[in-house]
């Protein structure tokens, strides 16, 4: 079964009576070269325990299975899940879950020993899935995901860039991030209307900044970027902090009150979160 063959993929989709849904971001990888690049960049070892979300017809799944200790694959579409059960379900190292990944407790799943996240992510949920992965207490050592180019660009955006925001801060605090490959629309069936990219995140030995309270840090960054055009002294008021508290915390963290959220590096956010946590 050659899942990189457009004709074979069309035949299977007709056989299981599945019309790829835009609402679910179903675009199936059909390019053998891109598949090879994904496998190479994943640097899979026989000791790896991998999580894959949105396996689709299993083009990436079947390539990874012989290389890893275990593979957990979460597929929302019941028809695709049933196809995977029939085609790959006999593999002893495959745990196939039929569920919406947004309803799965991903942090708990990662805490069970998964060390790599390798996925062709459904475009409709890519950013939300990665948010959960980056916020997990036990983050995988490697995150390798095919997703919308604009989402990948937001994650690798440098401080001050118009795309720099919450996802960039969460990712870059713990990972070295890069766009490993830009991927053309012809590599998928059906062709997506948006650009695609392969995002590679390698976990740092130490985070860029440690914080005293993760919940406070996350709340601070999330709320501040809902007012990203405001200067920090005003943005933080929108996040629910008192004026005196804001003034003291910015001074303690050594941050100019006239800066905007996109001008603060992850380390700045860490110092500010600690200062606000101490004053709470």
Residue 208 lies in a domain: no
Q: Which of 147, 179, 203 is where one domain is finished?
A: 203
The residue out of 203, 222, 238 marking a domain boundary is 203
**31 lies in the same domain as 168:** yes
| In a shared domain, residues 156 and 218 | no
Q: Is it the case that residue 38 has pLDDT exceeding 70?
A: yes
Domain boundary among 203, 235, 267: 203
Query: By mean pLDDT, which of 18-27, 56-65, 149-158, 173-182 is the weakest?
Result: 18-27
Residue 207: count of CB within 10 angstroms of its CB? 16
Distance CA 56, CA 16 (A): 12
Strands of the 196-203 sheet, one edge to the other: 94-98, 70-75, 49-53, 116-120, 142-148, 196-203, 175-183
Clarify whether residues 166 and 82 are in a common domain: yes
Question: Residue 251 falls within a domain, yes or no?
Answer: yes
Does residue 25 lie in a domain region? yes
Burial class (CB within 10 angstroms; exposed 0-12, middle 13-18, buried 19+) of 258: exposed
Question: What integer pLDDT is reported at residue 238 of this predicted model?
Answer: 67
Task: Please indicate, yes or no, whether residues 115 and 73 belong to a single structural domain of this protein.
Answer: yes
Kindly state whether residue 234 falls inside one of the protein's structural domains.
yes
Range of the domain at 243: 214-279
User: Average pLDDT in the 206-234 region?
Assistant: 90
As for how many domains the chain has, the answer is 2
Residue 45 sits in the same domain as residue 160: yes
If pLDDT is split at 50, 70 and 90, which confidence band does 239 have? low
Distances (CA, A) of 11 to 18, 22, 67, 190, 203: 10, 19, 28, 13, 40
Residues 6+ apart with CB under 8 A from 4: 29, 30, 31, 32, 35, 59
DSSP 64: H
One domain, residues 174 and 110:
yes
- Please name every residue paired with 97 in a beta bridge, in sequence order, or none if there are none: 74
41-54 burial: b if 16+ Cβ within 10 Å, else e: bbebeeebbbbbbb
pLDDT band of residue 227 (cuts 50, 70, 90) is confident
Same domain, 250 and 192: no
Residue 103 falls within a domain, yes or no?
yes
pLDDT of 187: 96
Q: Output the pLDDT for position 26.
A: 82
| Mean pLDDT lowest among 65-69, 79-83, 234-238 | 234-238
Residue 163 maps to a domain: yes
Domain harbouring 245, CATH code: 1.10.8.100
Is residue 1 in a domain? no
| CATH number, residue 159 | 3.40.50.150
The per-residue pLDDT for 242 is 82
Distance CA 236, CA 250 (A): 10
Q: Is residue 209 part of a domain?
A: no
Residues 134 and 233 in one domain: no
DSSP code, position 191: P
Q: Are residues 53 and 29 in the same domain?
A: yes
Percent of the chain clearing pLDDT 70 (strictly above): 97
For 83-122, the pLDDT digits (tens) are: 999 999 889 999 999 999 999 999 999 999 999 999 999 8
> Do residues 193 and 143 share a domain?
yes
Q: Average pLDDT over the chain, rounded to whole?
A: 93
Same domain, 117 and 232: no
**Band of residue 25 on the pLDDT scale cut at 50, 70, 90:** low
Higher pLDDT, 241 or 77: 77
Claim to verify: residue 113 and residue 145 sit in the same structural domain: yes
């Amino acid at each position: 079964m050659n899942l990189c063959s457009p004709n074979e993929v069309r035949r299977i989709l007709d056989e299981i009576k599945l019309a790829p849904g835009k609402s679910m971001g179903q675009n199936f990888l059909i390019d053998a070269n891109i598949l090879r690049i994904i496998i190479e960049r994943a640097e899979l070892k026989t000791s790896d325990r991998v999580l894959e979300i949105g396996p689709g017809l299993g083009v990436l799944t079947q390539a990874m299975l012989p290389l890893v200790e275990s593979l957990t694959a979460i597929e929302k579409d019941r028809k695709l899940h049933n196809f995977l059960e029939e085609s790959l379900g006999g593999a002893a190292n495959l745990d196939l879950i039929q569920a919406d990944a947004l309803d799965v407790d991903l942090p708990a799943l990662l805490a069970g020993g998964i060390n790599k996240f390798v996925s062709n992510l459904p475009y409709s949920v890519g950013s939300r899935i990665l948010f959960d992965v980056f916020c997990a207490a036990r983050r995988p050592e490697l995150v390798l995901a095919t997703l919308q180019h604009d989402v990948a660009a937001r994650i690798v955006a440098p401080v001050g860039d118009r795309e720099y925001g919450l996802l960039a801060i969460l990712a870059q605090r713990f990972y070295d991030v890069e766009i490993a490959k830009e991927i053309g629309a012809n590599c998928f069936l059906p062709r997506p209307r948006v650009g695609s990219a392969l995002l590679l995140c390698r976990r740092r030995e130490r985070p860029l900044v440690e914080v005293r309270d993760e919940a406070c840090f996350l709340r601070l960054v999330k709320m501040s970027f809902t007012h990203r055009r405001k200067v920090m002294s005003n943005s933080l008021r929108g996040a629910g902090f008192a004026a005196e508290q804001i003034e003291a915390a910015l001074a303690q963290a050594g941050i100019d009150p006239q800066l905007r959220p996109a001008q603060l590096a992850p380390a700045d956010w860490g110092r500010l979160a600690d200062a606000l946590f101490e004053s709470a």
